[in-house]
Chains A and B, each alone.
Chain A
């Protein structure tokens, strides 16, 4: 048995084939990235069933609206992650509307690191090379707890900077600078890796 031929193609080629209606291309992208995307959905929604449902919706949307991807605006994985996060946060917001209050995907005080630790026995089919994951974790490790928490509340909690300030009792300017410093640090680590 041989692996599907599309596995050998790069993401840009896969996105281009996908836009032409190639189901194998979608299948290949799913094989490559469902692991990281599901982890993202689960991290935001804190519910595996809902996360898997969302993953299906995201890949369906990708299939239906592949032409929306603009390669000048970033790599396919960046697009997939951004799309996935955006849909997951939307789902959290609809929960908020339903329940009349914001339900964070987890405890806001929870340290982002706790969910960003490498698994002790990483799955052999981890789609994203460990090196990049390590660089991200290294960058997050270099931040202090408050900075990590602010980043988590924004990225995984979907809170605006003013909501974060309210939740953490930090001044608005501090929230902004924590986010800026965290991203700069992350960028530095990723550059070092390159």
Chain B
């Protein structure tokens, strides 16, 4: 049984409403050493035991205390009081006979003594009651606090695991957003500069509907290629971008797959390692992973004139 179920039973047990199988379940669970439930039980029992505190206190017959002291064995033993020894001492038996009234004189004396005690007792009662109340409150507070601490500790562990997951997820999200922000800022800088240059890409058969733009800023050495109306490709194919030099050398400049929803792409072509004049940019379909030289037909192409 889970701790939450056990604690339900602990509430029932605290007010005496649990049946035997429930009490056994609680007891087995506590024997397994669950501190949280042990504290919950202590707290629940302490709380339930406060119920009679709400009752108007009764006043025992004054002679009752004398009867009690009289019936106590002189020495404490492990014996249980029996009805026989109770009756032998002359106290009321647990039948329905009316209480045996004490004789008049002892009662008068008892009352007089009680009154005298009461006057003195009233003077000290506040501090005594207050001490008892403080101690009771303190005990309840400690039990409550222990229960809260154990629960808090378990909750903190659970919370900590959840928080770790959340933090990791948030960190990933932050990294992603930071990367996007960096790109956006770079793009803003590139587009906002007078050094921006741009060329169009046209779709060729069988992809005449496709088109694109290529933008570059030679001062910032940044390139961006946008393309639209691109058909989706099977998993074993990829689009590949080529930079073509004035001498007709085709240099691989990156792979992409368009967004299947928008059928578009914006990517950053890879720049050649050495400075050279580029005259054309082209896109082909290649086997997944790309090729060193184009194997497919040119499907998108644009004229550029840039020194990289």
A105 at interface by CB-CB < 8 Å: no
Asked whether A129 and B56 contact (CB < 8 A) given A57-B86, A73-B42, A187-B144, the answer is no
Residues of chain A with a CB closer than 8 A to B131's CB: 10
How many residues on chain A are close to B (CB under 8 Å)? 92
Q: Report yes or no: B69 in contact with A23, Cβ–Cβ below 8 A.
A: yes
The one of B17, B45, B53, B128 that contacts A8, using a Cβ cutoff of 8 Å: B128
Question: Bound complex: CA of A154 vs CA of B14, how far in Å?
Answer: 10
Distance (Å) between the CB of A109 and the closest chain B CB? 18
A-B contact number at CB 8 A: 248
Q: Report yes or no: A180 in contact with B8, Cβ–Cβ below 8 A.
A: yes
Q: Report yes or no: B52 in contact with A36, Cβ–Cβ below 8 A.
A: yes
| CB-based nearest B residue for A27 | B69
The one of B53, B68, B71, B144 that contacts A136, using a Cβ cutoff of 8 Å: B53
B251 at interface by CB-CB < 8 Å: no
A103 at interface by CB-CB < 8 Å: no
Main secondary structure on chain B at its contact with chain A? Answer: helix
The one of A12, A27, A64, A164 that contacts B81, using a Cβ cutoff of 8 Å: A64
Question: Bound complex: CA of A158 vs CA of B147, how far in Å?
Answer: 26
A146 at interface by CB-CB < 8 Å: no
Q: Report yes or no: B12 in contact with A161, Cβ–Cβ below 8 A.
A: yes
Q: Report yes or no: B116 in contact with A61, Cβ–Cβ below 8 A.
A: no
Question: Bound complex: CA of A44 vs CA of B5, how far in Å?
Answer: 29
Asked whether A159 and B17 contact (CB < 8 A) given A64-B77, A116-B55, the answer is yes
Residues of chain A with a CB closer than 8 A to B132's CB: 10-11, 32, 77, 127-129
Question: Bound complex: CA of A48 vs CA of B258, how far in Å?
Answer: 91
Flag A24-51 by CB within 8 Å of B: 1 or 0 each: 0011001110111111101100001111
The one of A2, A34, A86 that contacts B120, using a Cβ cutoff of 8 Å: A2
- Which residues of B approach A to under 8 Å, CB–CB? 8, 11-12, 14-19, 42-61, 64-65, 67-69, 71-73, 75-81, 86, 91-94, 96-99, 116-118, 120-122, 124-125, 128-133, 135-137, 139-141, 143-144
10 A-B pairs within 8 Å (CB atoms) are namely A10-B132, A21-B76, A56-B91, A63-B72, A64-B73, A65-B80, A82-B49, A85-B16, A132-B136, A155-B51
Top-6 shortest CB links A-B: A136-B54, A35-B57, A75-B139, A154-B17, A38-B58, A40-B52
- Which residues of A approach B to under 8 Å, CB–CB? 1-3, 7-8, 10-12, 21, 23, 26-27, 30-32, 34-40, 42-43, 48-57, 59-61, 63-66, 73-75, 77-78, 81-82, 85-86, 89, 91, 115-119, 122-129, 131-133, 135-137, 140, 151, 154-155, 158-162, 164, 175-176, 179-180, 183, 186-187, 190-191, 193-194
